[in-house]
Every structure is written in C-alpha cells, then in structure tokens.
Amino acid sequence: MKVLVTGISSKLGHLVAVELLRRGHTVLGVDRRLWPASPPGVEMFQTDIRKRPAEDIFRTRKPDAVIHMATVTHLNQRTAERHRINLGGTRVVFEHCNTYGVKQAIFVGRHTFYGADAESALYHTEAEPPMAMATFPELTDLVAADLFAGSALWRFPDIDTVVLRVVYALGPSRHGTLASYLRGPRVPTVLGFDPLFQFIHELDIATAIGTALDARLRGVFNVAGPQPIPLSLLIRATGRKNLHLPRPAFQRLIGRFGLPRLPRGAIQHIKYPIVVDGSAFQESTGFEPAFDEVQTMDAFTLADKRW
C-alpha cells in the first residue's frame, strides 16, 4: 500500500515510517522540515501541507492511505499559527483525500482531548465529549482538529477514517509533552494532588498506527498502553525529585529556576487524571503494547542519562 505520512520529520514520524516499511508499505513523507537520513523506501517532499505543492503530491502520487501527524503540540507556538496548522492543515488533508480518491485516513490525536477536571470520569470512553476546551483553552485548536477529522466519517463516507486518541508518549527520543515536563532534575507538582498518568512507549505508538492501518479500521479509538501510575511514582522512577508546591507558588514559579514552562491550563492536568479506556481498539485489532510501564520509564531514563 502507498501511504502518505504528514509530519514525517518528527521523532514519532520517523518511527511510524520505519514501522510502515517493516510492514511492506511504500512511504511518502511530507514535512516543512527535511529528514536528511530518511531510510531507503521513503520518498520525501519538503513542503507545507497547506500549500499547492502538497496537493500536487496527492494528485500525482495517488496515495492509498494518509496518516496525518502534522499537528503542533508544543504550547510555545503562537496561537494563531497553531490554529492555522492544526485545524487548517487537517481540513486541507481531508479535502485532498476526498478529491483524489484516498481510501484510508488516520488522524493521530491526543487523549488530552477529554480534559482534566475534578468531576470527570476516571476512565474516558470514545463516546465522551471534549472537556479540554473548558479546562485547558490552549488545546482548543487540537480538539477542533480532532472533531473535524471525526466529522469526515459522515462527510466523506467513501474514506475509511480513523481518529486515534493516543496517551502521552515516552521513550528514548525524549520528545513529547510528558518528556518535556520530566526533562529537568526537579518536577513541580501541586501540593495535595497525585493524579494517575497514562503513557505508552513511542515504539508502541508506531505499532498501533501501523496496526490500525492494516486492520482497515473506521471510527474513533483510544490507544491506551500499559496501566496508569501515580505521578509521584513516575517522577521517582525516572530519577527526578518531586517538588511539591502550593498552587499559588506553582503558578508563580513555573518556567523559572529551571522548572518546565507550562501554560496556565496545564495545572489541571497535574492535579487531575486523564485515563482512557482503550478496550475498543484492543478488541478491534488485538493490539497489545510490547513495553510495560517499567520498561517504558527505563527507556526514557536510560536515554536521559546518555545526554
């Protein structure tokens, strides 16, 4: 199968490309950044997915499937630009899929879609609405992109559309939201709160995406990984020091004295859990993560020591 991967130059994009090649697929990659060391079998195109040259790739290369990963997750990007990339880029990708006869489309989303709140359910199923827009306004564009991708299920019925809401990635690349939060020797937490954190090895994410493609899934699925663990245990197991801060001090000190920079809405995610039920994806595909929570934390910690 000929598969077009947007955002292929990201660390996770690299892993997905390698996984697709392992499964025997032909891989086309689109990204604004170069991937100079791309493996044989990956045909790279350096362009913005929203521009005309990207549409020409759909028209001339005629991919059978598209995996859309060209979304911005880091929160230091300007809001207007994030909106243009995340929502505008997602809209363009699905319109091109419809115009040029793509049969499968996978949108790789985040479990933070559900939001963190004191009154939320402990386990979130795919049927639940997004709370993130109310509890974490900085994620509004990502939530909107997820909802737009989901709407393709009825707007473009000829496309087998899949939305994967994946928990936090962790692994040797040391990239991603959770890895950034754990990067320093001291990890700030809110005094009196110890939420469950759910994460998955980055190699297991690549496997899950490849599995969803080969299974010809259709619909919205949570991708959960191993069992969640308390934040305090995650910090200790990765060799960090838990810096307990009262909420007023947390808000004043975050981003200073070597502490990670976090937007205001992130405090909800450090106080309350976001745990998803991944049973639907497991039952539909037979997917089981190859790495448990200890192996995943060890992979991150060992890579961290090499730097």
Report whether pLDDT(7) > 90.
yes
CATH class of 2-306: alpha beta
Report whether pLDDT(138) > 80.
no
H-state helical runs in 32-163: 52-61, 79-83, 89-99, 132-135, 140-155
CA distances to 63, 240, 259, 272 from 160, in Å: 14, 43, 43, 34
Q: In the predicted model, what is the mean pLDDT of the chain?
A: 92
pLDDT at 78: 54
- Which of 17-31, 185-199, 249-263 is predicted with the least confidence, judged by mean pLDDT? 249-263
Helices 89-99 and 52-61, axial angle in degrees (round to 10): 30
- Which of 39-48, 68-77, 92-101, 288-297 is predicted with the least confidence, judged by mean pLDDT? 68-77
Output the six-digit token pair for 234: 């995650």
The pairs formed by 70-79 with CB atoms below 8 angstroms and a separation of 24 or more are 70/6, 70/7, 70/30, 70/31, 71/7, 71/108, 71/142, 71/145, 73/110, 73/142, 73/176, 73/177, 74/177, 74/180, 75/138, 75/262, 75/263, 75/266, 76/261, 79/138, 79/141
Per-residue pLDDT tens over the stretch 139-154: 888 899 999 999 999 9
Helix, coil or strand: residue 72: coil
Would you give the DSSP letter of residue 8?
T
Higher pLDDT: 223 or 304? It is 223
- The angle subtended at Cα 243 by Cα 138 and Cα 173, nearest 5°, is 60
**Count H helices, E strands: the chain?**
13, 15
Radius of gyration of the chain (CA): 19
pLDDT at 36: 85
Report whether pLDDT(134) > 80.
no
pLDDT at 306: 56
Per-residue pLDDT tens over the stretch 172-189: 999 989 999 998 999 999
pLDDT at 181: 93
Average pLDDT of span 9-26: 96
Average pLDDT of span 124-129: 93
Average pLDDT of span 129-137: 78
**DSSP readout, 148-215?**
HHHHHHHHSTTSEEEEEEE-EEESTT--SHHHHHT-SSEEEEETT---EE-EEEHHHHHHHHHHHHHT
pLDDT at 276: 97
Per domain, the residue ranges of the chain are 2-306
CA distances to 111, 125, 207, 218 from 279, in Å: 14, 9, 16, 15
The residues that bridge with 189 in the sheet, in sequence order, are 244
pLDDT at 243: 95
pLDDT at 75: 54
Per-residue pLDDT tens over the stretch 64-102: 999 999 887 665 555 667 777 888 899 999 999 999 999
